[in-house]
């Protein structure tokens, strides 16, 4: 279905920068002659609708100190500058209130869950004892697809116990999730978590809320201190719950995957690892379990409990403000919809209007042109490529490349001759290449032409270039639409 959809679409995009890269790699084989970097799949990073996900308390605080502009132009960075002027005390008390509310919401949900499951009265009572309204609270809520690795933080009972039950610096975790009734793996993950939580040392510190929905999500993303995400990179296309958390001043602790790979810097939250990708998934788990616990032990917990004289975690509050100031203007739906409009919808509409005019006149013409191009393309050849500038060029210098192209049956304005050039990797591939259009110099004989381009030499190291011919027409959506490319082969 994905291939069908890609082939039937005028344009395709991933939903984060990293997802764009992954998608170009994954689907490169649909454009076999096109270098990966040029596969026509772009990206527009997802965003969340701020008024839906920002808590009322926080919205009020932002209205008061930042002004009402964030409602109308949230994608304007300068609108958010004054977040820094919210007094520490006020921001922290607001956040603490929401944590307290989340704790009572969670207790109520747990009580209902226990009652509905027919638990014994003495077991239902625990619902009033779970969680501590003052403790560092970690939230983890999402669909329980296995790549999301919900159990990662539960891997090492000893270290987990030390974190959760530290007398002075306690930590607690609220899980929420659901699995599709036919998703056996998802259901088994939930069963495992529920079993682990039953352990005596965990049952007051970890809660699982069933039937994850938007109501639960909105309570969690505004009431916890830390939003945890532990997917296997690069399988999280974007992720949006972390965005919901960030604009409420909830700090993300996440694998560098999806949106977090482009949002992360050390002033707004934490990264688990550095975006490593292991061949062996077990090795990856081991490495990231270690990275996660170390991060919590050495950075997250100390930052949360490092209090000033009036019991304020100044460093933490600074990060909360940074998270709101720097992430809100980017990861919102206003910015996202504008990008879709400008990069995809508007050009698609324009294209439709052009094509459909006068009983589809342009579409008919283009279809005829394509037919002719497909028919004549086997006669396109690059017969010679050369440069007189030698193999060694100094940085800052340039190299003049000439190519001889035979294009029997096609006019010179129906083809485009390009040089593709750049540094080569260890497999002799030009992974990050640039292209330059070669100019027609002269006709050499019948149907045979000389083209030329001058390309700059901008960096040291081994570089390469190659020449290619593509069909060219003002009405094709992208140069690879026909799938036809002829590369020079010696
Ligand atoms: C935001 C949200 C999601 C998506 O969260 P991800 O981080 O993208 O997995 C799923 N379910 C609910 C109820 C949500 O609110």
| DSSP codes, 215-240 | HHHHHHHHH-SEEEE---TT--S--S
Residue whose CA is at the smallest distance from ligand 1 atom 2: 241
Q: How many angstroms is it from 217 CA to the middle of ligand 1?
A: 7
Residues with CB under 6 A from ligand 1: 142, 212-214, 217, 239-241, 244
SS3 of the chain: helix, strand, coil, percent, to 5: 45, 20, 35
Residue 213 CA: nearest ligand 1 atom is: 13
- Measured CA to CA, the distance from residue 218 to residue 245 in angstroms comes to 9
User: Do residues 383 and 450 touch, judged by C-beta distance below 8 A?
Assistant: no
- 400 pLDDT higher than 90: yes
Structure tokens that stand for 476 in this block: 């094709």
Q: How many angstroms is it from 241 CA to the middle of ligand 1?
A: 5
pLDDT, tens digit (0-9, with 9 covering 90-100), for 197-209: 999 999 999 999 9
Q: Going by CATH, does the domain composed of 60-331 fall within 3.30.470.10? A: no
DSSP class of residue 250?
P
Which of 46, 48, 143, 146 has most ligand 1 atoms within 8 Å of its beta carbon, as the pocket-test mutant? Answer: 143
Q: How many angstroms is it from 449 CA to the middle of ligand 1?
A: 57
**What is the rounded average pLDDT of the residues 263-278?**
97
Q: How many angstroms is it from 244 CA to the middle of ligand 1?
A: 9
pLDDT, tens digit (0-9, with 9 covering 90-100), for 105-134: 999 999 999 999 999 999 899 999 999 999
- Measured CA to CA, the distance from residue 474 to residue 452 in angstroms comes to 22
Q: How many angstroms is it from 116 CA to the middle of ligand 1?
A: 25
**What is the rounded average pLDDT of the residues 76-88?**
97
Q: How many angstroms is it from 249 CA to the middle of ligand 1?
A: 18
Query: Which ranges in 323-426 belong to alpha helices (H)?
Result: 333-340, 346-376
Supply angle C-alpha 288, 290, 292, rounded to 5: 65
User: Do residues 274 and 291 touch, judged by C-beta distance below 8 A?
Assistant: no
- Measured CA to CA, the distance from residue 42 to residue 99 in angstroms comes to 39
The contacts of residue 338 (CB under 8 Å, 6+ apart) are 75
- Measured CA to CA, the distance from residue 292 to residue 271 in angstroms comes to 9
Q: How many angstroms is it from 16 CA to the middle of ligand 1?
A: 16
- 391 pLDDT higher than 90: no
Which of 140, 141, 253, 259 has most ligand 1 atoms within 8 Å of its beta carbon, as the pocket-test mutant? Answer: 141
- 490 pLDDT higher than 90: no
- Measured CA to CA, the distance from residue 266 to residue 150 in angstroms comes to 24
β partners of residue 405: 382, 449
Which of 240, 253, 261 has most ligand 1 atoms within 8 Å of its beta carbon, as the pocket-test mutant? Answer: 240
Q: Which CATH class is domain 367-490?
A: mainly beta
Q: Exposure string (b/e) for 452-472, b if CB count within 10 Å is 16 or more?
A: bbebebeeeeebebbbbbbbb
pLDDT, tens digit (0-9, with 9 covering 90-100), for 5-36: 999 999 999 999 999 999 999 999 999 999 99
Domain spans of the chain, in order of start: 60-331, 367-490
DSSP secondary structure letters along 302-318: HHHH---TTS--HHHHH
Structure tokens that stand for 278 in this block: 């292991």
- The H or E element containing residue 95 is helix 88-116
DSSP class of residue 323?
I
Structure tokens that stand for 310 in this block: 């009036």
pTM of the predicted structure, to 2 decimals: 0.94
Q: Which of 476, 487, 471, 478 is nearest to 420 (CA)?
A: 487
DSSP secondary structure letters along 52-63: HHS-HHHHHHHH
pLDDT, tens digit (0-9, with 9 covering 90-100), for 404-458: 999 998 999 999 999 999 999 888 889 899 999 999 999 999 999 999 999 998 8
- The pLDDT of residue 427 is 87
Q: Which of 58, 76, 11, 141 is nearest to 332 (CA)?
A: 76
pLDDT, tens digit (0-9, with 9 covering 90-100), for 366-379: 999 999 999 999 99
Residue 216 CA: nearest ligand 1 atom is: 13
Which of 241, 257, 261 has most ligand 1 atoms within 8 Å of its beta carbon, as the pocket-test mutant? Answer: 241
| Confidence label for 213 from pLDDT (cuts 50, 70 and 90) | very high
| Confidence label for 49 from pLDDT (cuts 50, 70 and 90) | very high
């Amino acid at each position: 279905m994905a291939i069908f959809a890609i082939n039937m679409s005028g344009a395709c995009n991933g939903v984060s920068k990293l997802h764009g890269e992954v998608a170009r790699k994954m689907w490169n084989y649909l454009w076999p002659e096109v270098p990966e970097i040029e596969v026509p799949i772009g990206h527009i990073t997802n965003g969340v609708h701020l008024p839906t996900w920002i808590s009322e308390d926080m919205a009020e605080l932002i209205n008061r100190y930042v002004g009402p502009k964030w409602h109308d132009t949230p994608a304007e960075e300068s609108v958010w500058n004054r977040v820094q002027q919210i007094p520490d005390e006020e921001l922290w008390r607001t956040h603490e209130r929401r944590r307290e509310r989340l704790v009572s919401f969670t207790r109520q949900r747990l009580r209902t869950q226990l009652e509905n499951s027919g638990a014994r009265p003495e077991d239902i009572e625990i619902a009033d004892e779970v969680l501590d309204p003052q403790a560092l609270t970690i939230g983890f809520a999402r669909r329980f697809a296995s790549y999301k690795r919900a159990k990662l933080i539960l891997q090492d009972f000893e270290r987990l116990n030390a974190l959760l039950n530290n007398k002075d610096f306690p930590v607690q975790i609220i899980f929420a999730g659901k699995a599709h009734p036919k998703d056996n793996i998802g259901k088994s993950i939930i069963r495992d978590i529920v079993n682990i939580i039953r352990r005596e040392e965990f049952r007051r510190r970890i809660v699982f809320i069933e039937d994850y929905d938007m109501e639960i999500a909105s309570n969690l993303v505004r009431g916890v201190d830390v939003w945890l995400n532990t997917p296997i990179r690069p399988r999280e296309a974007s992720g949006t719950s972390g965005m919901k958390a960030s604009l409420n001043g909830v700090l993300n602790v996440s694998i560098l995957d999806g949106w977090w790979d482009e949002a992360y810097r050390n002033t707004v939250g934490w990264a688990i690892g550095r975006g490593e990708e292991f061949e062996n998934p077990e090795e990856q788990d081991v490495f990231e379990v270690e990275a996660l616990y170390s991060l919590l032990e050495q950075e997250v917990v100390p930052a949360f409990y490092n209090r000033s004289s009036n019991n304020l975690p100044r460093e933490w509050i600074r990060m909360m403000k940074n998270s709101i100031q720097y992430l809100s203007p980017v990861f919102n739906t206003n910015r996202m919809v504008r990008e879709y409009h400008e990069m995809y919808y508007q050009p698609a509409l324009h294209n439709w209007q052009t094509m459909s005019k006068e009983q589809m006149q342009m579409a008919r013409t283009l279809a005829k042109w394509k037919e002719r191009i497909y028919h004549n393309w086997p006669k396109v050849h690059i017969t010679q490529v050369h440069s007189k500038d030698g193999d060694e060029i100094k940085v800052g210098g340039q190299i003049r490349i000439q190519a001889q192209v035979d294009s029997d049956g096609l006019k010179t304005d129906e083809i485009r001759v390009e040089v593709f050039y750049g540094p080569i990797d260890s497999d002799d591939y030009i992974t990050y290449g640039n292209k330059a259009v070669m100019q027609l110099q002269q006709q050499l004989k019948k149907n045979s032409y000389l083209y030329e381009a001058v390309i700059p030499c901008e960096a040291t190291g081994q570089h390469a270039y190659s020449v290619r011919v593509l069909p060219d027409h003002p009405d094709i959506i992208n140069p690879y639409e026909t799938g036809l490319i002829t590369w020079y082969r010696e």
